[in-house]
Amino acid sequence: MPVKTYWLEHAWLGTHVEPGVALETGADGRIGALRTGVETPPPGAEVLRGLTVPGLANAHSHAFHRALRSLVQVGSGTFWTWREFMYQVAQNLTPETYFDLARAVYAEMALAGITNVGEFHYVHHARGGAPYADPNAMGEALIEAAAAAGIRITLLDTAYLSSGFGEAPNPHQLRFSDGTADAWAERVSALKPRGHALIGAAIHSVRAVPADQLATVARWAQERQAPLHVHLSEQTAENEACQAAHGRTPTQLLADHGVLGPRTTGVHNTHLTDGDIALLGGTTTGTCMCPTTERDLADGIGPAGRLQHAGSPLSLGSDSHAVIDLLEEARAMELDERLRSRTRGHWTANALLTAATADGHAALGLADAGRLEAGALADFTTIALDSVRTAGPLPRLGAETAVFAATASDVRHTVVGGRHIVRDGAHTLVPDVPSALAESIAALRG
């Protein structure tokens, strides 16, 4: 890829908005140089009008849940009734249909300014649980889908072995299970990273991986210095069942088996004790908040502020894809905390953007992304400052405008590895993203 210069009308540099920034991308897909005080575009530079920020990191995704949008909004119900709809969709996935759906979903993410996705992947096998000829056919489909959509992926291959604290998988869950953690480790070890893809690990939850097998998954991740994610205390029912089975909270159980640590991220972390918060913060275990899903499923509001204060870095995810909008996730984390505490200003706009960029990428194993600086991956996105939502504020308040007013619809450009993936609001690799979504979702209706 040739050296290219972008001129950023305004750029968020982590602490402030800088006008007139020239950014050079190199053949290695990284930022080669960044110059401030460039009042007019240099000759031949590509002009990006608006506010350019580092690419957004979607730290928690289940791509196939996108097929549930609106379907699960009919009537009422609970997380557990929602799960029955999810099982129905999962049963109809094949490597081919999953590629088509994930390609469309990841293209939707690119349109929303997302340059890297953490895919929490647990639909591994054919219906009934028999492995495909390639045991990693489903994971490979997701990796290829990300490439086709032009974004990066950290495939968080997920151990899912039990229907609950040692119980055998139910018929819907047979597709998810490798039988044992050792068998999971053998299968996932065959997956190889590539230019746009990293391989990480996940423990679905303490109810889905027996306690005596948690350490196997943690050891696999430790040996490879890979990210390790886990659904943690999303539901009070999980906490109660864990107490009944093990006499401790899920967080305590994970700590006892060596799961917590700086490369581990707990997803949701909603219903925690004071001791849980101290354990997560003391081990610098991360927290991925998914506010639009957590409120859609009526899960509750997690103690994000207390967790961060205790030492747990925050990242953001769109999870079930009720919407795909990382700006909304950032905004919702602050606004949900305001509702609970009845006070304002828990995080600055800079802090919320950091959760959506640098800290999100770090949670996915990419410490060299999420910043506009020389040597970082050349992944960035530009948000319009002249839409009906964003027009009016001073450009120096661009971070506040992006977080508290803009939506995914205001994303104008997305660049990944120096390559323009979204240009003027249109995807360059997937010409008609809405049609791709509609067709791939229709193919899953049983």
* CA dihedral for 269, 274, 275, 281, sign (positive or negative): positive
* CA dihedral for 309, 315, 316, 317, sign (positive or negative): negative
User: Which of the residues in the chain have pLDDT under 50?
Assistant: none
| H/E run at residue 427 | strand 426-427
Classified as helix, coil or strand, 180 is: coil
Nearest one of 231, 302, 294, 218 to 260, comparing CA atoms: 218
Supply the pLDDT for residue 85: 76
Catalytic residue, candidates 10, 62, 257, 268: 268
Supply the pLDDT for residue 80: 62
What count of other Cβ atoms lies within 10 Å of the Cβ of residue 103? 26
Q: Which residues pair with 17 in a beta bridge?
A: 12
Decide: 114 and 150 in contact? Cβ < 8 Å.
Answer: no
* Residues with Cβ within 8 Å of residue 56, at least 6 apart in sequence: 112, 113, 114, 115, 326, 327, 356, 357, 360, 381
Distance CA 399, CA 349 (A): 6
Residue 400's alpha-carbon distances to 204, 330, 347, in angstroms, are 35, 11, 11
Q: Is 413 a catalytic residue?
A: no
Q: Look up the pTM and report it.
A: 0.97
Query: What pairing do the DSSP bridges indicate for beta strands 228-232 and 197-203?
Result: parallel
Supply the pLDDT for residue 9: 98
What count of other Cβ atoms lies within 10 Å of the Cβ of residue 192? 10
Q: Is 172 a catalytic residue?
A: no
Classified as helix, coil or strand, 269 is: coil
* Residues with Cβ within 8 Å of residue 216, at least 6 apart in sequence: 181, 182, 184, 185
Nearest one of 44, 1, 55, 53 to 26, comparing CA atoms: 1
Structure token pair of residue 416: 């990944």
Supply the pLDDT for residue 231: 98
Helices (H) and strands (E) in the chain, counts: 15, 16
* CA dihedral for 163, 167, 170, 174, sign (positive or negative): positive
Catalytic residue, candidates 157, 276, 299, 319: 319
Distance CA 385, CA 407 (A): 11
Residue 82's alpha-carbon distances to 148, 222, 240, in angstroms, are 30, 34, 20
